Structure 1
Amino acid sequence: MFGDLMGMMGKLRETQEKVKATKKRLDSVTLKETGPGGDVEVVLTANREIREIHLADHLLNDKEHLVDALVIALNQALEKAGQVHDAELSAVAREGMPNIPGLDSFLK
C-alpha cells in the first residue's frame, strides 16, 4: 500500500516538473492573429503574452475603428493562445495522473 502511495507521489512530482517545463516552452510558441480586414495583426505566446501589434496606417486616423479592430484581434488571439495552452497542459497532466475514476471530467 505505501509503495503504491510513494510511487504515486513520485509520479505527481514528476508531472509537476513536466508542467513547469511545458509552461516555459509555451513562452517560445508564438501565434499570429489578424483582425477584420487585415488591419490589425497580433503576435503573442501560447502563455498569452502579447509580443507585437501591427496596425494599418489608416487606423491611426480613426480611433473608433482602431479600438474595434484591436479588441476583435486581441480577443481572437487570446482565445487561440488559451486553446493551445490548455491543450498542452492538459496533455501533460493526464499523462502523469493516476487512473482515478472521474478525473478526466475534472481536468477539462
Structure 2
Amino acid sequence: MFGDLQGMMGKLKETQQKIEETKKRLDTVFVEGSANQGKIKITVSANRVVKNIAIDSGLLEDKEELEDYLIIAMNDALKKANTINDAELAAAAKDGMPNIPGLDMFK
C-alpha cells in the first residue's frame, strides 16, 4: 500500500513540475486581439500578461471611441489567451495524474 502511495506522490510531484514548466512556456506564447479592422492591436502572453498595445494615430482624436475599441481588443486578446492557457494546463495536469479512484474528472 505504501509503495502505491509513494508512487502516486511521485507522480503528483512530476505533474506539478510539468504544470510549472508549461506556465513558463506560456510566457513565450503570444496572441493578438484587435478592434476596428486592426487599428487597435493588443498582444498578450498566454499567461494573460499584456506585452504590447498598438493604436492607429487616427483613433487618437476621439477618447470615448478609443476607450471602447481598447476594451474590445483587450477582451479579444484575453479570450484567446484563456483558451490556450486552459487547454495547455489541463493537458499538463491530465498527463501526469495518477490513477486514483474517484479522481476521474481529469481523465
TM-score greater than 0.5 by the shorter chain: yes
Consecutive unaligned residues in structure 1, runs of 5 or more = none
The residue type equivalent to 1:87 in the other structure is A
Taking the aligned partners of 2:87 and 2:20, their CA distance within structure 1 comes to 15
1:58 aligns with 2:74: no
SS in 1 for 2:28: coil
8 Å CA contact 2:34–2:72 kept in 1: the answer is no
8 Å CA contact 2:33–2:75 kept in 1: the answer is no
TM-score where L is the length of structure 1: 0.91
1:103 aligns with 2:104: yes
Identity of aligned residues (%): 50
Aligned to 1:3: 3
The 1:83/1:40 distance shift into structure 2, 3 A limit, reads same
How far does residue 35 in structure 1 lie from its aligned partner after superposition?
1.2
How far does residue 6 in structure 1 lie from its aligned partner after superposition?
0.4
How far does residue 103 in structure 1 lie from its aligned partner after superposition?
3.3
The residue type equivalent to 2:104 in the other structure is L
Alignment of 1:14-93 (within 5 A): 14-93=14-93
The structure with the greater share of residues assigned to helix is: 1
1:30-89 CA distance string (max 9 Å, x none): 111211322210111000000000001111111011001000000010011011001000
Structure 1 segments, 4+ long, off by >4 Å, are none
